Amino acid sequence: MAELKVKTERKTQLVDVTADVEGLVVQLEGSLVTLFVPHTTAGVVLQAAGEGASAVAGDLETAFEALVDENRPWGHLHEGDRNPWSHVRAALTASSVSIPLTDGRLALGGHQAVFLAEFDGPRVRTIRITVTR
């Protein structure tokens, strides 16, 4: 298993970690990589990026904030939680994804990229990476 540390800069942020993940998995032999985010207020998503899709991450950040209003009457605020909306936003993503590997590279679609989805930043987050044969 390898770990990737990702420093986020905003409360809600999608960080493209594709190149970092590929840099780690190229050293490991196998045919499938699983990425796991061990946080309840962050996730991992596969989404469009690159030429013609450079605004997608920002649009998703805006959509997450619009879909899950921080000012609604959250029940677990009364339990001492300071960020209940972050848990709901993370639930809209995934805590893990599996991606096939071809010759040590992520077998993503032409416009796909791997993003860490931050919902309670800024923080340093961890992505745990395992490769299976």
pLDDT tens, residue by residue, 80-117:
878 999 999 999 999 999 999 998 899 999 999 999 99
pLDDT attached to residue 35: 98
Nearest CA-CA partner of 10 in 57, 55, 56: 57
Q: What is the pLDDT of residue 3?
A: 96
> Is it the case that residue 69 has pLDDT exceeding 90?
yes
Q: How far is CA 40 from CA 7, 22, 75, 106, 112, in A?
A: 16, 24, 17, 25, 24
Q: Helices marked H in the chain — which ranges?
A: 18-25, 56-67, 84-91
Cα–Cα distances (Å) from 25 to 15, 72, 73, in that order, read 18, 41, 43
Q: Can you give the pTM of this predicted structure?
A: 0.94
Domains defined along the chain, listed by start: 2-132 (2.60.120.460)
Mean pLDDT, rounded, of the chain: 95
Per the model's pLDDT, the better-predicted residue between 28 and 39 turns out to be 39
Kindly report whether the peptide bond that precedes residue 122 is cis, defined as omega within 30 degrees of 0.
yes
